[in-house]
Amino acid sequence: MPSRMDTFRFGHAKHSESRVVYVTADASAHGPNAGFRFKGNAISTGKYSPITFFPKGLYEQFRRVANLYFLSVAIISLFEAISPIKPYTIWSPLVLVVGLSMAKEAVEDYARHKQDHEQNTSLTERFNGTSLVQCEWREVKTGDLVRVVRDQAFPCDLVLLASSLDDSVCYVETKNLDGETNLKIKRGVEGMGGVGTGPAKMRELCGDGHDAYVECEHPNNSLYTFTGNLDVPSRTREVSVHGSSRNLAAAAEDRTGSEKISLVPSNILLRGSSLRNTEWVIGLAIYTGHDSKIMMNSSAAPSKRSTIEKGMDKIVISMLGLLCLMGTITGIICGSWIKNVSPKHWYMDTSDTDMVFDPKNAPKVGVVAFLTSYVLYGYLIPISLYVSLEFVKVCQAMVFLNSDRQMYHEETDTPMRARTSNLNEELGMVHTVLSDKTGTLTCNSMEFFKCSIAGVSYGEGVTEIERSIAKRQGRPILTKPTKPIEPGFNFKDARLEGDKWRSLPDAEHVRDFFRILGVCHTVIPEGEATRETICYQAESPDESAFVVAAKRFGFFFKSRTTSGMELEEPSFPSSGEISTVDYELLNVLEFNSTRKRMSVIVRTPEDKIMLYCKGADSVIYDRLSHGNQKYTDVTQQHMDEYAKCGLRTLCLSVREISQSEYDAWNVTYTEAARSLEKRDEKLQAAAEIIEKDLFLVGATAIEDKLQDGVPGTIEQMMRGGIAVWVLTGDKQDTAINIAQACALIRDDMDVHIVNIEELVKQEHDREITRAQFNEQDKAQVAALIEAGIEKEAATAKKGMETCLVIDGRSLSFALEQDLAPRFLQLGSGCTSVVCCRVSPLQKALVTKLVKDSGKITLAIGDGANDVGMIQSAHIGVGISGQEGMQAVMASDFAFAQFRFLERLLLVHGRYNYKRISKMVTYFFYKNLAFGLTLFMYNLHAAASGQVVYNDWLMSAFNIFFVAFPVIALGILDQDVNQRSCLQFPQLYRQGQQNACFEHRVQAGWALNGVYIAMVTFFVVFYAVHGGEADHPKGHVFGLWEVGTSLYTGIVITINLQMAQMINFWTWIQHVCIWGSIAFWYIANCILSNTDPYLSTYSYKIFIPTIAPTPKFWMATPLIVVIGLLPDLLYRTLRRLFRPEPHQLVQEYERTVRGATPRSSVTNTPMDTPRHGSRYGSSMVLAEEGRIEVDEPEEGEDNIEPEESAEPEEPAEPEETAEPEDPAETEEPEPNEVERSDEEAPPREAEEEKKADESA
């Protein structure tokens, strides 16, 4: 037990090696744990507190460059001598924008605090020294004994001591922790079950507060590991009766000392999980509050920003640079004019003025003019852009993505979920998709299909993968697929039916095979222990399939305890009667991605100590004994055949261990299990000692069927220019065959394989030494990569595509710093890449390698081993499947089926990219045009800082008069209908090339803004109001009248520019555009009759002075025509003579509807092969600006997608993403404002899709 000095050391040393927690009922300030300063159990996940909300919230808001700039402008505006506009016209929009953002933060944070309060005030039971009393969660302290009852959540991380079930086991649901719905079994610390008998035992355990303690690792975020020891007085511990605990029996002779018991992860109950199927448990609180593992995992996911958002920041900085340049020019001109010209104008009397216009100090005048311009030209920076963009993205995510019924999976009741809206437009720019296989491309619903036992292959039937490959090769298999006999078991072979296996030549090995299936696992049986009603809870579908197979073969796993397992099995070699036998479970060497195997050491009914091991062939074959193997070669042949059928293989092996060897090894294993430092490494080293000299019994073959629509989805993505990389842990043959079934590898492709299997075989057969192997392996990988680069270049010249296949061992060398660039070059040149035998770490490294090359990556997976890959990619997509929800919780977007990725990228991603890119460029265009009119007038007024617009009108420009049309564009615009997006996936390449947001496009919009500003200014000042009388009575317009004309021209021109951009008109666009123009005139009328204190210079300007003037009404059409005519001509000529791909599709849609094409380009022969070559239609798109399209098939000429390619042809709003139910009303639902292209009833549309895929 630690001494008092140890207690002081552990409590105050910041870097102590371990954490000590005393078992005590004294939670006072003088208790044994008080000196450690453990965190309380109250939690707070809120971002702000009432004290920190304003300072921290303001800091978050002003981290944005635009907001920080406007803050500086607002501060300068407080100095009337410098600012040309009133402070409230700057402060009002700034406060509005920042206030809205902070209000949103406050609402979200309040919800978090409310949830925290509910958790902190939840009730549980705590031992107070005499009895169990009810208390709130926040009152629980580290070291308390806590009682949790059925269906309650655990208030903190607990060490399980006792439960209501035998052997102190309990069932735990971790759905809220890791998303997995299957129950997990937790085991109490051996010998501590007596704690649950009553308060007396609890008092005995607590003692004086220093008798029992836990020494464990410091709080960390690893959910699946735990290292610690429980030190208790011997008198408080029950002595195990099992043979595996003989060392405890010896220790029990002296009940006066203490005992150290190693703690393992299965002893830990984590906060965030709940108790199920168990009446109560008692545990020791070790990690409380923010020290608990779930709270240690609550750190924010990696921050991801889209490419357009990063580009937007660069534009903002560029606009700031332009603003400073304009301010500098203004300052120079002003200083020069005041010094050299102003003295000649006697009426200005500049000799008697302040520093603002002091001709004796021109530099100071220039500085003041610069600051004035800094405020005046601030409208170049769109303050409302961030708020508008966030609103648009939320609408895209919440309304269209989450409500898309075509991405809803009815079988599992799983809708599409956009977990973030920051990356909507990034979905339209993906170059590479990196996918897991199991559970992502396949169903992860495992079925025991074939097996190899003692060198004989068993099992009949054809796999779905074989059928898919044969179908794609034009030789469909006519036999019908077999249905599973029961979930997880689809095996048929008369030789193993009933007890026929007993008559086989190697029946003993067959029995060992079945025993391994029935014993070597961590499955939890539930329900009544009969063959018909029992239900197995497994951590993976593979394990469940193995146990079900064992049951079907006669080895029925009935129940499990902490120390043993109960099976029904036929006696052998006697009569074969079914009897119930017990296996004493001595040790479990668990599976992990590094070990790639699992072993159990049991004492069999024959009183033999046996090691049963199952794992990947690459690790099992390395651990086989030499000289006495009978089945290695033939089993390998069988596994290769299974792999070609797309089956997942696993080797089963066995070894008998003597009692003396086991006892000696168990000492090493126990010491490793009790170690607090590097426990995992020591346990793995101990396992290596015993997992050797194995005898190979056979191999299993599990079928994992492809999900629906996977081949078609991959084909569509590849036609859209998206490269697909599949990263799997399967064998090479399995991976290749599944790739063929998925259309990743086609008959017209050249496949290049990179592996060092030959070297591995030579080293295994002792033909070369380990040293020679280490010298040659990397060199061979480098040579294969170089050969692949040459082959890819040669096949590209022939117009063919290449697929790269690389195994995990070769990949480890390819990812090294010197080979990685060449490997990336090879992979980037290939249409598809298959990486087999890869680890979770390698998945993340490959993803990061592709990401760092500058290509937009999307990673998709369904399991915990895919989290690193998902978080490393630009975009992470989680599949909610059989392996829990960890991938979903780490993802940016989530759905249930891989096929939904086609719609997510080709429809929603493409739409969102084009909408957001147009929206951002238009925002800067309109602000540049507006800001330059201020600049030109300021120069016209000798850079004096005089404004030409009313202060309120300048503030309202971005908020009321031009804001709503661009928001409508960002939410609703569609250039082609949804069916065309899927019919012509080549359209997706526009996003990959960033064609709508490249520097050329940005420069074009900037020049357009400059042109609009110049046209508006010069038409108003020098053409319409050039000096002659403006009013019929001979009056000449003053500054504010001319300013109103200028403002009218710029507002209407900018709004009508939006009308020229829109591809898809709805009533919402009409309301936004025409309503914004109408609101401008209404605002003028209101200001004209409002008190001068509020309306300032607009009082009595519009109605009595401007409105009756014909020149005002003539000026506006003139400005609009001159300003917009060049853009209209450019768009028309571009569409006629060099159309973009989407414009060709628009014309195709018109021809399908029976309309006359408006361009001769549609007379081009149209042909889109199902397997589009990168050097076929893609070259046409890239070089000629054309797209090859399918001729409308017979019966399709009645398709009428409601699409308008021009603003002159308004269309009605339609449903967003799902076909209309004929039984429902024709009126669209409120949240279904996107156009639907599915005019056929759902069943007909589905049949058309199936027919298209089969073609």
Catalytic residues: 436
Torsion of CA 947, 950, 956, 961, to 10 degrees: -100
Residues 6+ positions from 700 with CB-CB distance below 8 Å: 448, 450, 451, 517, 546, 549, 614, 649, 650, 652
Q: Scan for tokens 């069916």, then name that residue.
A: 979
Report the distance separating Cα 479 and Cα 462, nearest Å: 8
Q: Nearest CA to 899 among 1234, 401, 1241, 442?
A: 442
Amino acid at the residue 91 = W
What is the torsional sign of CA 248, 250, 252, 254?
A: negative
Report the distance separating Cα 7 and Cα 18, nearest Å: 12
Total number of residues shown for the chain:
1255
Count CB neighbours of 1011 within 10 A: 16
667 backbone dihedrals φ, ψ, rounded to 5°: -65, -45
Residues linked to residue 172 through DSSP beta bridges, in sequence order: 184, 275
Q: Nearest CA to 1091 among 952, 960, 958?
A: 952
The beta-strand segments (E) located in 115-156 are 123-127, 132-136, 145-149
Number of H helices, E strands in the chain: 41, 33
Q: What is the DSSP letter of 489?
A: B
Residues linked to residue 435 through DSSP beta bridges, in sequence order: 726, 860
Say if residues 1167 and 1192 touch (Cβ distance below 8 Å). Answer: no
Q: What token pair was written down for 899?
A: 């096929």
Report the distance separating Cα 689 and Cα 668, nearest Å: 10
652 backbone dihedrals φ, ψ, rounded to 5°: -115, 135
Report the distance separating Cα 187 and Cα 268, nearest Å: 8
Q: Nearest CA to 873 among 344, 532, 435?
A: 435
Q: What token pair was written down for 476?
A: 């469909």
Report the distance separating Cα 174 and Cα 254, nearest Å: 40
Amino acid at the residue 511 = R
Q: Nearest CA to 803 among 714, 871, 877?
A: 714
The beta-strand segments (E) located in 167-244 are 169-173, 184-187, 213-216, 228-233
- In the chain, what is the greatest distance between 2 CA atoms, to the nearest angstrom? 128
Q: How many Cα neighbours within 13 Å face the side chain of 686?
A: 26
SS3 1019: helix
SS3 580: strand
1075 backbone dihedrals φ, ψ, rounded to 5°: -65, -35
Q: What is the DSSP letter of 38?
A: P
Count CB neighbours of 847 within 10 A: 26
573: cis peptide before it, omega within 30°?
yes
What is the torsional sign of CA 761, 763, 764, 767?
A: positive
Q: What token pair was written down for 341?
A: 């010209």
Report the distance separating Cα 836 and Cα 318, nearest Å: 46
Give the angle subtended at the CA of 398 by the CAs of 396 and 399, to the nearest 5°: 70
Count CB neighbours of 353 within 10 A: 14
